[in-house]
Amino acid sequence: MNLHIFSRVFVLASLLVQPLVAQPCTTFLASDGEYIFLGKSYDWHIGSGYLLVNHPNVAKGALPTKLLQNPAKWVSKYGSITFNQHGRELPLGGMNTQKLVVEVMWLNESEYPAPNGKPDLNELQFIQYMLDTSANVEEAIAQALKVRVVRHGAPVHYMICDASKTCATLEYIKGSLVINYGTAMQTPVLTNDTYSTSSKELDAFLAKDEKGNINRPLGHGSLARFVRTAFNVREFKCSSQEIGQVAAFSALDDVKNDVRTDYTKWNIVYDLKSGKIAYRSLARPEIKWVHIDDFTYSCKKPAKMLSMNADAVGHVSEKFEEYSVGLNLDMIQKSLKGQQSDQFLKLIAAYPEKLPCMEK
């Protein structure tokens, strides 16, 4: 690959990736006893995408662009299943084989660090990096502190949770990484304001509620969704895995965009105890699911992928097909809506082929 050409094309094209107006997304952790569910509502102007099976023991390098001064390098330690829209290695979220989940949401206030000598990578590959290298939230935080995230497409923040019910938010505010974790994260919810701003809104609402039992805020605004979801999390009840999954999808229904009902493209429910990942899409609302243990994680074997909008229902692991550059390119073409040059799209699609398998 000619990295000079790659970088020049990517920098020019990346300015066109983000839409003018962000759409609302919501992530939460809900638990009742032994049952732990993480729900994600993905609201966007594009509904295409793929689930991808990612392997351990792959030597990786950050997607090379002129915006990166010191591209990060690492070897994946864990396999994962991710939800991708802009290409393989650039996920929007997912779960790894240790049942760590990483999810991303838009945050207008995000300001990323200036060059600081740390290895750097873009804001979506950062998700894959944490899934590749971390068994739990503590390890993910430690890995996050080792690198510098460079914005290529969108201002975002992250929520990460593991099977111990531990969660954290990672936000880049005024050029510094702000981590809410432990006692600093009493409410495991994240929308499209900073966690600090959202928590203050919830506290203010609770103070008013004590005085007058006011109605919960309506609408698709970020703070209203945060408050409603915080109550849904506090009141979450389930007596079985199946009932818990239904309750988690119901909580996602409560945060659907009520202005543009076609903007809620995906709903995902991760079962952090069992490793089950259930999901539905606007185009295919029937619930489909896979299990993190359904696949053999060996980089000596081809990766696998499945369209988010596949015509299927129920347990769909057998529906996955062998990964190919052609399918990756098709995914990228659909997400970028023909806004980019063919050269740019092909470079992004071919990038994963440059990552060697280190498995003995």
Kindly tell me if the per-residue pLDDT of 41 is higher than 90.
yes
Side by side, the strands of the sheet bearing 288-291 are: 189-190, 26-32, 35-43, 264-271, 276-281, 288-291, 314-315
- Give ∠ CA 143-144-150 in degrees, rounded to 5: 135
User: How would residue 23 be classed by pLDDT, with cut points 50, 70 and 90?
Assistant: low
pLDDT at 337: 65
Rounded Cα distance between 31 and 233, Å, is 8
Average pLDDT on 199-210 reads 89
On whether residue 327 sits in a domain, the answer given is yes
Q: Which of 347, 326, 344, 335 is nearest to 308 (CA)?
A: 335
48-63 tens-digit pLDDT: 999 999 999 999 999 9
User: Region 178-204: what's the mean pLDDT?
Assistant: 96
Q: How confident is the model at residue 257 (pLDDT cuts 50, 70, 90)?
A: confident
Q: Does pLDDT of 207 surpass 60?
A: yes
Confirm if 335 and 44 have CB atoms less than 8 A apart. Answer: no
- CATH at residue 218: 3.60.60.10
How many CA atoms lie less than 13 Å away from 96 in the CB half-sphere? 25
Q: pLDDT at residue 163 above 60?
A: yes
Instruction: Output the pLDDT for position 338.
Output: 67
pLDDT at site 312:
96
The DSSP bridge pattern shows strands 35-43 and 50-54 to be: unpaired
| Interatomic CA distance for residues 288 and 279, integer angstroms | 6
Higher pLDDT, 5 or 76: 76
Asked whether residue 127 is domain-assigned, the answer is yes
| Domain count within the chain | 1
Work out the pLDDT band at 65, boundaries 50, 70, 90: confident
pLDDT for res 15: 36
Confidence bin at 213 (pLDDT 50/70/90): low
pLDDT at 187: 97
pTM: 0.94
pLDDT at 37: 98
Going by pLDDT thresholds of 50, 70 and 90, the confidence category of residue 130 is: very high
In this model, does residue 12 exceed pLDDT 60? no
Look-up: residue for tokens 């050409």?
5
CB 113 within 8 A of CB 172: yes
DSSP 357: B
Is residue 186 domain-resident? Answer: yes
pLDDT value of residue 212 = 63
Mean pLDDT of the chain: 91
Residue 24 or 203, more confident: 203
pLDDT at 331 over 60: yes
Residue 209: pLDDT band with limits 50, 70, 90:
confident
- What per-residue confidence (pLDDT) applies to 2? 42
Mean pLDDT value of segment 101-117? 97
Q: Which domain holds residue 59?
A: 3-354
Where are the extended beta strands (E) located within the chain? 26-32, 35-43, 50-54, 59-61, 73-75, 80-84, 91-96, 101-106, 120-122, 148-150, 156-161, 167-173, 176-181, 189-190, 264-271, 276-281, 288-291, 304-307, 314-315, 321-322
- Does the residue 218 lie in any domain? yes
pLDDT confidence band for 17 (50 / 70 / 90)? very low
Q: Is the pLDDT of residue 10 over 70?
A: no
pLDDT higher than 70, residue 315: yes
- Tell me whether residue 212 is in a domain: yes
pLDDT given at position 9: 44
Stretch (H or E) spanning 129: helix 125-133
* Residue 158 domain-assigned (yes or no): yes
* Residue 359 within any structural domain of the chain: no
Q: Is residue 360 part of a domain?
A: no
